[in-house]
Amino acid sequence: MYSALFDHIKRFTVLSEDEELMLSHLLKPVSIKKKAYLLEQGQICRMNYFVVNGCLRLFFIDIKGTEQTIQFAIENWWITDHTSYQFQQASQFFIQAVENTEVIAIEHHLQEEIFAKIPKLERYFRLVLQKAHQASQMRIKYLYSQTAEERYLHFSSLYPGFVQRIPQKMLASYLGFTPEFLSKIRAKKS
């Protein structure tokens, strides 16, 4: 099960067999059923999750009571509430399984031990977080600079298979418009 994570790490740094073995003893495999929660608002996020297979989403409920999806994670992506995880404070978000999902979790209380024992992983997580931050910045730019239809077309061209996996309501929320508007865009393309 850990081979997917170790392959992902190899894209950024190389661990020795001893380091991989050491890390494997500090990881926790978790299976979660579709629609179940790994984190609910008000809880403290104690895990950082690497998706082996399946799909998760990070969302909040706005003042109108509408779910607003701000992140998805599919195979080989990480997901957590970084603020809650790093500072061990109550989360303002939910993490929910969109599909039956298997993840590898790093528990917060083990993070510093992992970095002390395997310093290469600090570099790995820095690079992963830099990529995630860059993607987040571009998403914000697209929300402000593209029309809703342009956002959908851009996203569906980058992630065509992903668009088919995600329920329309969640995809519309992520892209910043209503499911009805998404239906109209898809109808125009047909």
Question: 165-179, pLDDT tens digit by residue?
Answer: 899 999 999 999 988
73: in domain: yes
Position 159 in a domain: no
Rounded to two decimals, the pTM is 0.93
Residue 36 sits in a domain of what CATH number? 2.60.120.10
70, 77, 94, 80: which is closest to 175 by C-alpha? 70
List pLDDT tens digits, range 83-101: 999 999 999 999 999 999 9
Measured distance CA(123)–CA(15) in Å, rounded: 12
| 160 — pLDDT class (breaks 50, 70, 90) | confident
Query: What pLDDT is stored for residue 190 in this prediction?
Result: 63
In a domain, 83, yes or no: yes
| DSSP strands (E only) in the chain | 28-32, 37-39, 47-53, 56-61, 67-73, 78-79, 94-97, 101-107
What pairing do the DSSP bridges indicate for beta strands 67-73 and 101-107? unpaired
Q: What is the mean pLDDT of the chain?
A: 94
The verdict on residue 8 lying in a domain is yes
Residue 36, in any domain of the structure? yes
Instruction: Report which DSSP code applies to 43.
Output: S
58 belongs to a structural domain: yes
- Note down the domain range covering 64: 3-117
Query: What whole-number distance in Å separates Cα of residue 36 and Cα of residue 32?
Result: 6
Total of domains in the chain? 1
Whether 52 is in a domain gets the answer: yes
Alpha-carbon distances, residue 90 vs 65, 66, 94, 132, 183 (angstroms): 19, 20, 11, 22, 36
> Residue 30 forms beta bridges with which residues?
103
Residue 79 lies in a domain: yes
Question: pLDDT for 107-146, tens place per residue?
Answer: 999 999 999 999 999 999 999 999 999 999 999 999 999 9
